[in-house]
A and B are shown apart, each in its own frame.
Chain A
Amino acid sequence: DVKVTQSSRYLVKRTGEKVFLECVQDMDHENMFWYRQDPGLGLRLIYFSYDVKMKEKGDIPEGYSVSREKKERFSLILESASTNQTSMYLCASNLGTGIHQPQHFGDGTRLSIL
């Protein structure tokens, strides 16, 4: 079974802090993704990576950055946290080859910015 592990289920931070969300997958997947989930909006893509050190912006990258130094690990960084970044964050991964492989998701991190 594919396992995508997010480092924290719940996180509380203060405005202006630098926040790191970590994600690790154990299936040697090429692609990794960060989404945020908000009520009534579904999931929206923040950033994705198709290889080590490669990253691309998704639909809502403002206020975020990412890092992928190793294939199995994809980090989401909030450079200076703001209250409008309070949300549920979901990491996902899938194979880079083949056709539109299903994405496998972690349990999510519920982040509150005070």
Chain B
Amino acid sequence: AQKVTQAQTEISVVEKEDVTLDCVYETRDTTYYLFWYKQPPSGELVFLIRRNSFDEQNEISGRYSWNFQKSTSSFNFTITASQVVDSAVYFCALSEALIQGAQKLVFGQGTRLTINP
């Protein structure tokens, strides 16, 4: 069965520090997709990134970067120069195929990130 583990339950750093959120996954599929979502205090999950298993290039988007390593089944997320607005719960998820073209997301437990001023 698919499984996603986010071992860090809570992280607290001071503004402007860099912080890395870990994500380790298990799957038997050769083709799969990984996602990161952000859940700010308002509650809605905001999509951040999707990565497929064939593309191991690291990705950077502004202060956000993602490191995908198939050899260690990890898809880690780094925020550079953190800001208070980055405070949220972050979820890593693995996409699992269902029927009729639908897929479900298997979520990790989430990491609560607090950025202190």
User: Are A99 and B102 also in contact (CB < 8 A) when A42-B91, A90-B45, A106-B44 are?
Assistant: no
Q: Mark A88-104, 1 if CB is under 8 A from B, else 0.
A: 10101000110110111
| A103 to B50 Cα, complex, angstroms | 10
A108 touches B104 (CB 8 A): no
Task: Specify which chain B residues have a CB less than 8 angstroms from the CB of A90 in the assembled complex.
Answer: 45
- The listed residue (B37, B43, B99, B103) touching A100 by CB distance below 8 A is B103
A102 touches B50 (CB 8 A): yes
Task: Specify which chain A residues have a CB less than 8 angstroms from the CB of B46 in the assembled complex.
Answer: 105
Q: Mark A3-23, 1 if CB is under 8 A from B, else 0.
A: 000000100000000000000
Does B105 have its Cβ within 8 Å of any Cβ on chain A?
Answer: yes
Task: Specify which chain A residues have a CB less than 8 angstroms from the CB of B64 in the assembled complex.
Answer: none
A interface size (C-beta, 8 A): 31
Shortest distance in angstroms between B81's beta carbon and chain A's nearest beta carbon?
Answer: 26
- The listed residue (B4, B95, B100) touching A50 by CB distance below 8 A is B100
Does B85 have its Cβ within 8 Å of any Cβ on chain A?
Answer: no
| A79 to B40 Cα, complex, angstroms | 31
A42 touches B110 (CB 8 A): yes
**How many residue pairs, one in A and one in B, have C-beta atoms under 8 Å apart?**
67
Does A48 have its Cβ within 8 Å of any Cβ on chain B?
Answer: yes
- The listed residue (A45, A50, A97, A99) touching B33 by CB distance below 8 A is A99
A56 touches B101 (CB 8 A): no
**Given A40-B109, A43-B105, A51-B100, 17 more contacts at CB 8 Å?**
A30-B101, A30-B102, A41-B109, A42-B107, A48-B102, A50-B99, A50-B100, A50-B101, A56-B98, A97-B101, A100-B52, A100-B103, A102-B47, A103-B47, A105-B44, A105-B45, A107-B42
A-B contact pairs, 12 of them (CB 8 A): A40-B9, A40-B109, A41-B109, A42-B91, A42-B107, A43-B45, A43-B107, A45-B105, A54-B100, A88-B43, A97-B101, A99-B33
Q: Which 7 A-B pairs have the closest CB atoms?
A: A42-B107, A105-B45, A100-B33, A50-B100, A108-B43, A100-B95, A43-B107
Binding site for A on B (CB under 8 A): 4, 9, 33, 35, 37, 42-47, 50, 52, 91, 95, 98-105, 107-110
